[in-house]
Structure 1
Amino acid sequence: MNIFKSEISLNTIVSVVFVPYGCGRPLHKNRPTHGFAFNVGCDVTYHFETGETLVCHADELIYLPKGANYTAKFDNEQSNVNTGVYAVNFLLNNNEAFSPKTIQVKAKTTLHAAFSKMNVAWRKKDVAYRDDCFSLFYKILKTIKTDLANYAPIQKSRDVLAPALRFIDERHTTEQITSAQLASLCNVSEPYLRKLFHNLFGVSPIVYIRNLKIEYAKELLLSAEYSVTEIAMITGFNDAAYFSREFKKATGITPNGYATLFKAKQ
């Protein structure tokens, strides 16, 4: 089960702590509590005894199940004293089992502030500090659930477009893909397909495909291993003049101008 989509009843908060980068023990056996961990400026990789591996990136939160066995390893080297992980360890009023899960929300500043305030309240232990921590705990959950509710329509659109996006990824440099093909793959009309693309990516399917080709072309230009004509063929434009027009339309600069500009910056 996904704890972020479930109604949970908090029994008690056992501890709140900020673990600076590089500190903390890497091996965890039979975790005694449930846990939320929010990363500040660092990535942490979790290897679970079940074989599952999760990477929790900066500004992301991970749920760690009670009873879990896992290792936790900081990934990227950091020297900032404010870099680390906020950890909230807690118990629930029921025995439901939840799976480990990472999540990133748009309101990351709100989450960061809530974890920071909870950590301060727990350390200072002023009057009613537990009440403050309970309130902040549920604020964190509300922030996550609100974000998930807002994200649901976007995810639904991605699910509908999944066959088209896979097809584009596999063939955008080798075939001339049409909107009609993509609509057929997704079992939707062409107007609805274009609407979904505009909602998700802000462009039509054809422009989306063109932009993928342009990004690939940029990499090839910077490699200095291919001519403009060769790149036009490799990326699926199939004509140097057409490629140059589309590249300038997308970037405001010609392919050769792009290569020259970025070489000058190196």
Structure 2
Amino acid sequence: MKKVIMTFPEGRHKAVTMSYDDGRAADRRLVDIFNRNGIKGTFHINSGMLGEGDRIPAEEIAGLYKGHEVSAHTVTHPTIARCPKEQIVDEIFEDRKNLESIVQNTVRGLSYPNGSYNREIKEMLPYLGIEYARVVQSTGGFGLPDDLHEWKPTCHHNRDLMKLAEEFVELHKRQYLYLMYVWGHSYEFDNDNNWDLIERFCEFIGGREDLWYVTNIGFVDYVKAFRQLHFSASRDFVYNPSATPVWLVADNELFVVKAGEQVQLG
């Protein structure tokens, strides 16, 4: 009986993703750091506040975040667990529509403003086209999410970032998949005068052949694509109905199942 396990692209077993909120001016410097080191970020933006104060203006969004993900953060950043459901729907759905008109891509993710959410809000999200939502409570670990609408990151960048990064790069047991997920606000580097922290982290973690650098939605799409694979009962062959190529190991041999293709597994 064939034994099949998922891997990340090219057979990797470790992934890195970043998540930054509010769309503030310091994102310009953060995006540059990410780009120089091959890091992929997700940027959660309040579309009703674009251009206010030091927030990135609408006309700069598409160009600045090219190659990264623009994601929802509600229109006006309320504490949504205190809002009526009609307002919650408007805040999230209108944010999606506004951002999609700017970036010309579907917006399918969210970070909860002020970390505010509850069970009722989580249950609304699939009907609003939101496939994942990040919370602020961190795990300190590298496990994969078991609830995409309550996605807990590894850490805020001010909490043992380099220590966790060093632990992460040393992980070697290939029977597991690992994810390092860092979140924060770019303006915090200005406030705390610690841009050197994210510089050191990105230089240390970036450019490694054994790591997969991915946006939040890229990670979600990949995991969902694996779950959508159609295996034969004997697992001798598999068909990929999705638009995303998937890598897997069958009896210790690496295979890639491209979009729309059927592959014989050995």
Shorter-normalised TM range: under 0.3
Higher relative contact order (CA 8 A, sep 6+): 2
TM-score normalised by L of structure 2: 0.26
TM-score normalised by L of structure 1: 0.26
